Amino acid sequence: MSEKLIQSAIRASENAYVPYSHYRVGAALLTADGVIYTGCNVENASYPATICAERTALVKAVSEGVKEFDMLVVATPTGGSPCGVCRQALYEFAPDLHIIMVDFTGKIYHEAKLRDLLPLGFGGSHLDEAKGK
């Protein structure tokens, strides 16, 4: 399955809209039901409006009613890792997500659990505590 996800992420990067950074990113998110949602980065002339590939894939899935995820592959030119915003966005749904980072040849640079990439991520228990639960 991870090879299929790797190829899906690489293919998704082809749709990246990157007129500003020219840095293409593709993501492939595997649901607990074995379905793959892909995403690419979509940039904007107002730079902060840019959405990363990982969050594109996540939002596509959640907007279809899917909230359980097992694995994510991120494909970049350099085998780069997901940004902090994406880590936190993914942590909301899948703190135990397995993440694989590859370049466009499919070479694996890193493999890690989201929990280890985002120690002490902000989540439900913090909110429960604040609400006195």
Assess 18 for contact with ligand THU (CB under 6 A).
Answer: yes
CB distance 41 to 53 below 8 Å: yes
Query: Does 9 sit near ligand THU (CB under 6 A)?
Result: no
The dihedral built from the CA positions of residue 108, 112, 113 and 115, taken in this order, carries a sign that is negative
Map the footprint of ligand THU across residues 58-87, applying CB under 6 A: 82-83, 86
Q: Min. distance of Cβ 57 from ligand THU in angstroms?
A: 10
89 binds ligand THU per the rule CB under 6 A: no
Name which of residues 19 to 58 contact ligand THU (CB under 6 A). Answer: 21, 23, 25, 41, 43, 50, 52-54
Helical residues (DSSP H) of 14-122, grouped into ranges: 53-62, 84-91, 114-117
Angle (deg, nearest 10), helices 2-13 and 53-62: 110
Of 40, 108, 107, 99, the C-alpha closest to 72 is 99
Check if 54 is active-site: yes
For ligand THU, the binding residues (CB under 6 A) are: 18, 21, 23, 25, 41, 43, 50, 52-54, 82-83, 86
